[in-house]
Chain A
Amino acid sequence: MDFELIIGFAGLVFLAMVPYIFAGLGTMLAGQTGLFIVAQEGIMLTGASIGFLGAYWTDNLFVGVLTAIVAGGLFGLAFAFFTTTLNMNQFVTGLALFFVGLALSTLIFKLAIGVTLTPPLVPTLDKLPIPLLSQIPVVGDILFNQNIFVYLSLLLSGALYYFLYRTSYGLELRSIGENPKAADSLGINVKRGRYFAAIGGAMLISMAGVFLPLVYTGTFTEGITQGRGWLAIALTFFGGWRPHTIFIGALFFAAVDVFALRAQVFGGGIPHQFLLTMPYIATLLIMVFGSRWVRVPTFLGQNYDREKRSV
């Protein structure tokens, strides 16, 4: 394998990492307040479908991203409403929203575009080399000659880390996921925190979805996410529910992703189906052996009802 190929591989890994980071960060953000979203696949699909249409009709990728964010926010709002206000089971709600998203993505696309011989296309997002930095040999090519989504995902990891661990708002938000009753007793608004995190989280997840048509394919196809939404849940556990480690996890998942794709093209003896199971196996191993690393929020998946009397 020559040098060029390795640089190319590394560059692709950073690109493939983007949806994992967005979806993982979104899952993590909601999780830090104790909300366990499992509708990632559905939210991403809807984000991809609606975001693509937004971009297609306006000829503007930025508008596409915005529409996806709005769609994701609505999913987050629905999730927060059902679980926080109506106190419904989070897992069941998440599964229901997954199916809604799955169906909605295809339905809206079919209604808007109909059945066509040639797929509707938008020009995929170009690379945006950063002046000077992209001139650095090797590193410049891998890190600074990417499209804007890559930079954004890196910035976002840092920003979320700062927000959650270096501000009092982050402290309050995390306290909701660790012990909502304690947070409530100190005057922290548990419902508001959960609504905020669910909406913000779902927006990020939806952005992970819209990345796929706008950067990879240039069009929306059914099931375009290919299970990345489910992988995002595994990734969040793998990444120990913290922004900086989710970044590392996303790199690993993306590497496996790219490698599996390459192995499919070039052969190499290893069945690519086997490679595709690697992230799941790695997650299981992390869960078994890395219990100190994985700091699942204590109240993850549990609703909070103030007047419920504990017996």
Chain B
Amino acid sequence: MPKDIVLEMQNVSKRFGSVIALDDVNLSIQKGEVHGLLGGNGAGKTTLMNVLYGLYQSDAGQVRLGGEPISVHSPKDAINSGIGMVHQRFLQINRFTVTENIVLGTDLQNWPRLNLDTAKEKINELGERFGLPVDPDAILSDLPMGVRQRVEILKALYRGVQVLVLDEPTTNLTPQEVDALFESLRVMVDDGLSVIFITHKLREVLEVCDRITVLRHGKNVLTMEREDASEEAFVTAMVGSDLDVESSIIFSSEQLEKTIGDVGQDTILEVADLTVGEGELVGVKSCSLTLHAGEILGVAGVSGNGQLELIEGILGLRPVHGSVLMQGTDVSTLETHEILKNSVAYVPEDRWQDGFLPTANVAQNLILGLHRQAPYSDGRLLQRHTILDRSNQLIEEFNIKTPGAQDTAGNLSGGNIQRVMLARAFSLPVDLLLIHNPTRGLDIPSMEFVYKKILERKQEGMATLLISENLDELFLLSNRIMVLCNGEQMGELQRGSYDKYAVGRMMSGVRQSE
């Protein structure tokens, strides 16, 4: 039995300058369904939804709501038509209370003074009905990510939306929070709402969605009922011919287990009782870890729980107490550039902020941080020819798509920038790799590439500290996983006994029971 179509987007196109972000895309949403919008990064999912929500103006195409064409020129139009959106980066005001955030922009009683009591009642009632409890008087910045997301959803429900768009809603949530979210979504669609669920995580889509549309390179690939399609069908649709799914390490794991299990004896990194920061600003408390040659130690945790501080503490970018031994030598008092000389490579989380010079050329970015060392420098001057030759080699080896080593690095796409980061890290012999969220924002073939490169070096004996917010990635690659919460070690799991709920409990601050 076909259900009523609530929302239709027909032949939508959008370009940014010379980049075609959306090319003739169609989407139709039924009443009372969770519709998955699946695609890799840059597939156009978010752009399509920003068009729907009036944040971008489409160049062509139309939107129909309940059969009637509507024109959406601003978020206000979208809200008035009954379309709500929860953005990936929450659009919230940290200093306002939950209630203020939710009611902002709605009609309110102003005389004799702003009255929010009825609003609070409504928020409590909605929270109860859909399983989204919040404290209406809490200040946003005090709340954990899971609760802040509830606030975002309530914001849309408060406005009585018919169609709710969730953009990558599970980023930064623990597995328990994800389950709770999925339950709430079920209640909503049973209530007659329609939900558009944007994600690049296939497993989530298969778990919660009724129908699924796949986008690739800004084009429709397919729309299918959940029951009608296998996992492989969607993977192939997502990645197209860019990736051989059969031989991919992400999807076939026998060979992988053997590679991962192979760990050496030598201790590469030994961190003992490390505290990073002082006073109220302590980022990491008494952390201890050991890393052997050829080992990958995963670090899990909700973003902002000490991961950055840990890595920057080890690298000497932040003042520390405790000891950091690299191959037996204490480096905790050394300057960062001295530490980096000991065959240590760092791939930062925030590529644009911490690892990359967009206005410099590709070659310069490829030697950044190594530019004082041979062979790139003779101690006084940069060796121009060596640098160019080596850069061309790296561009070839890491398959960096650029017109040339001397082209402006800022023209590279996100995936290619990450290739530059990796090429730099691996351009000289590496014993220890510190790598933070290495695949954030990358599409599946690029993820595959990153994993392969890390594993290649691991087999040569490189030790890796892999900090990631992506549990699938940690489960795939790590020999062990340690969990951080509020800068403290909550516990550690061995490969073979990974359990996302156990990790989730530790991520939310429950210590591992002995």
Q: Which residues of A contact B (CB under 8 A)?
A: 162, 166-172, 175, 178-179, 181-189, 295, 298, 306-307, 309, 311
Task: For residue B338, give the distance in angstroms from its CB to the closest CB of chain A.
Answer: 32
Q: Which residue of B lies closest to A309 (CB)?
A: B16
Stretch from B24-32, B91-99, B181-189, B451-459 contacting the other chain: B91-99
With A186-B75, A306-B55 as known contacts, state yes or no: A175 contacts B104, CB within 8 Å.
Answer: yes
In the docked arrangement, what's the CA distance between A187 and B55, Å?
10
Are the C-beta atoms of B75 and A179 separated by less than 8 Å? no
Contacts of A185 in B (CB 8 A): 53, 55, 75, 85, 87, 91
- Residue of B57, B79, B114, B414 near A166 (CB, 8 A) is B114
Q: How far is the CA of A201 from the CA of B161 in the complex (A)?
A: 37
CA A179 – CA B100 in complex, angstroms? 13
- In the bound complex, residues from chain B placing their C-beta under 8 Å from that of A172 are 104-105
Residue in chain B with minimal CB distance to A310: B89
Given contacts A167-B113, A178-B94, A179-B92, 15 further A-B contacts (CB under 8 A): A166-B113, A175-B93, A175-B96, A178-B96, A182-B91, A185-B53, A186-B105, A186-B155, A187-B74, A187-B76, A187-B105, A298-B95, A306-B55, A307-B55, A307-B56
Interface residues in B, total, Cβ within 8 A? 31
Interchain CB contact under 8 A, A295 and B91: no
- Is B352 interfacial (CB-CB < 8 Å)? yes
Given contact pairs A186-B79, A187-B74, A179 touches B91 in the complex (Cβ within 8 A) = yes
Chain B residues with CB under 8 Å of A175's CB are: 93, 96, 104
Q: CB of B108 within 8 A of chain A?
A: yes
Chain B, interface SS category: loop
If A185-B91, A306-B55 touch, whether A171 touches B104 (CB-CB below 8 Å) is yes
Asked if residues A178 and B95 are in contact (CB atoms below 8 Å), the reply is yes
Q: A171-B100, A171-B114, A172-B105 are in contact. Are A182 and B16 (CB under 8 A)?
A: no
B114 and A168: CB pair below 8 A?
A: yes
Contacts of B56 in A (CB 8 A): 307
Chain A residues lying within 8 Å of B76, measured Cβ to Cβ, are 187-189
Q: Can you list 22 pairs linking A and B with CB atoms under 8 Å apart? A: A167-B113, A168-B103, A168-B107, A168-B110, A168-B114, A171-B100, A172-B105, A175-B96, A178-B95, A179-B92, A181-B91, A182-B92, A183-B104, A183-B105, A185-B53, A185-B87, A186-B75, A186-B91, A187-B105, A307-B55, A307-B56, A307-B57
Query: Chain B contacts of A184 at CB under 8 A?
Result: 55, 74-75
Nearest-Cβ distance from residue A188 to partner chain B, whole angstroms: 5
Q: When chains A and B are docked, how far (Å) is the Cα of A181 from the Cα of B110?
A: 24
B residues with CB within 8 A of A: 16, 53, 55-57, 74-76, 79-80, 85, 87, 91-96, 100-101, 103-105, 107-108, 110, 113-114, 155, 352, 414
Cα A172 to Cα B76 with chains together (Å): 14
**Complex alpha-carbon distance, A172 and B93, angstroms:** 11
Provide the bound-state CA to CA distance between A166 and B414, in Å: 45
Bound-complex Cα distance A307 to B105 (A): 21
Partner of A182, one of B53, B80, B93, B110: B93
Query: In the complex, what residue of chain B is closest to A188 when comparing beta carbons?
Result: B105
Cα of A68 to Cα of B110 in the assembled complex, Å: 31
A175 vs B102: C-alpha distance when bound (angstroms) = 12
The answer to whether B16 touches A179, judged by C-beta atoms less than 8 angstroms apart, is no
Q: How far is the CA of A240 from the CA of B107 in the complex (A)?
A: 29
Return A106 CB to nearest CB of chain B, in Å.
Answer: 42
Ranked 3 nearest A-B pairs via Cβ = A187-B76, A186-B105, A182-B91
Chain A positions within 8 Å of B155 at CB level: 186
Minimum distance in angstroms from B52 CB to a CB of chain A: 13
Contacts of A307 in B (CB 8 A): 55-57
Nearest residue (CB) in B for A162 is B113
Residue of A whose beta carbon sits closest to that of B358: A311
Which residues of chain B have C-beta atoms less than 8 A from A309's C-beta? 16
Question: How far apart sit A309 and B44, CA to CA, in the bound complex (Å)?
Answer: 13
